[in-house]
Structure 1
Amino acid sequence: MKRGALAVVFGAIGVLAVAIVLLQTGLWVDVVGVGEYDEGTVTVYENGNAAATETAASGTATPTDSPTATDAPATTVAVRGNESLPLAAVEVRISDTFEQRYTGLSDTESLGPDEGMLFVHDEEGQYAYVMRDMDFPLDIIFIDANGTITTIHHAPLPPEGTSESELARYEGRGKYVLEVNRGWANRTGVSVGDTVTLPAGVE
């Protein structure tokens, strides 16, 4: 075999080796980047409340027992119990590419009380999330294509030194996954079966 051909073969092997390392370690995200995140608001309503969801989201109705509700900022947790009021609202970054979903919140040091990330998959299915390189614990909330919460996990930080293969897998069925600070679901009263209104433009 000629020297030039050998150089091509060894060069290809080297490129392949680098690609494997980048894929296995996730470093390829640093190379490719995650692009810009869109932003929006996720609002959660008590289960079985589709009609009330539309009214409250449009802002056309003012609940009689909460005259200041319409003055509240979008991130304020609303009063629970009145069917026309949301349980909670979360300002989110929208993660809808593979690169963004892989990185998730691992490059985020902290979240505000009503901040989070909304992961958008191409189709509804069974998915698993892990706490890769996270600095804080999470509630991981799976939402189906109809906007119904199907599963809520309260995920702690993995023990220090946990390898990628040893990370706990938090599984659920859905098209969307909402990640917020751990304990957010308990604090707001959000539970499985509640209805979620997604940001405009999210499909």
Structure 2
Amino acid sequence: MQRGPLAVVLGLVGLLVVGVLVLQSGLWVSVLGVGEYDEGTVTVREGTTGTASGTTTETATQSENATTVAVRDDAERLATVEVRIADTGPKRYLGLSNTTSLEPNEGMLFVHDEEGEYGYVMRDMDFPLDIIFVDANGTITTIHHAPLPPEGTSESELKEYSGQGKYVLEVNRGWANRTGVTVGDRVELPAGVA
């Protein structure tokens, strides 16, 4: 009985399944890494510069009015990210969907009026994200590693990434793994970000 070819085929199928699971989970980022990072603070940028039609198509570095926020674990500062503030319904709805790209340490901070359960989707995105929920006292409650939805996905078919918090930080996918930011770490927000 020839079991050699069958064993090879089953082995290849097993490797393929493991590979797909690793890619979908974002585990590859912790295994391979995505480069070095600078320790420091999270810089929050308020406002955004839009085009004549009101659509934002620039990268996050073209915003104005920066303020500083730190992301820490119990012992040390972990990461640096510059973000724009989305603190109104229209800004939160648009989010980063018309942003063509982010630098490695750029993103957006969504500010809700009160703490609650919120859901975010990858509507019209050009790049995958880490979606990080932060409660009212600054503790990170949930981290999602969100891939781009398959091409042709309708808005009603978009996967919802939900979590508990008052704030949501969106950054390039893999940022949390690369910087070591995890659930339970703290985001220190300045008085001006309510």
Same structural fold, with TM-score higher than 0.5 when normalized by the shorter chain: yes
1:149 CA drift (Å): 0.2
Tell me what 1:43 maps to: 70
1:39 CA drift (Å): 3.8
Match of 2:153 among 153, 162, 180: 162
**Which residue identity is paired with 2:151?**
E
Tell me what 1:17 maps to: none
CA RMSD of aligned residues (A): 2.3
Q: Does the CA-based 8 Å contact 1:33-1:99 persist in structure 2?
A: no
1:42 CA drift (Å): 3.5
Tell me what 1:174 maps to: 165
- Long gaps (5+) in structure 1: 1-29, 50-82
Tell me what 2:85 maps to: 94
1:138 and 2:165 matched: no
Q: Distance in 2 between matches of 1:134 and 1:122?
A: 25
**Which residue identity is paired with 1:116?**
G
1:196 and 2:187 matched: yes
Q: Does the CA-based 8 Å contact 1:139-1:154 persist in structure 2?
A: yes
Q: Does the CA-based 8 Å contact 2:55-2:98 persist in structure 1?
A: no
What TM-score do the two structures reach when normalised by structure 1?
A: 0.63
Q: Distance in 2 between matches of 1:170 and 1:39?
A: 28
Q: Does the CA-based 8 Å contact 2:115-2:165 persist in structure 1?
A: yes
Deviation per residue, 1:36-93 (Å, 9 max, x gap): 87543432100xx3xxxxxxxxxxxxxxxxxxxxxxxxxxxxxxxxx2x300121110
What TM-score do the two structures reach when normalised by structure 2?
A: 0.66
Q: Does the CA-based 8 Å contact 1:130-1:170 persist in structure 2?
A: yes
* SS across alignment from 1:165: helix
* SS across alignment from 1:87: strand
Greater Rg by CA: 1
Q: Distance in 2 between matches of 1:176 and 1:97?
A: 12
Q: Greater strand share, 1 or 2? A: 2
1:104 CA drift (Å): 0.2
Residues 14-25 of structure 1 correspond to what in structure 2 (within 5 A)? none
Q: Distance in 1 between matches of 2:139 and 2:54?
A: 31
* SS across alignment from 1:101: helix
Q: Distance in 1 between matches of 2:172 and 2:135?
A: 20
Q: Distance in 2 between matches of 1:34 and 1:148?
A: 32
Note closer, same or farther for the CA distance 1:178–1:190 as it changes in structure 2 (3 Å cut).
same
Q: Distance in 2 between matches of 1:194 and 1:107?
A: 29
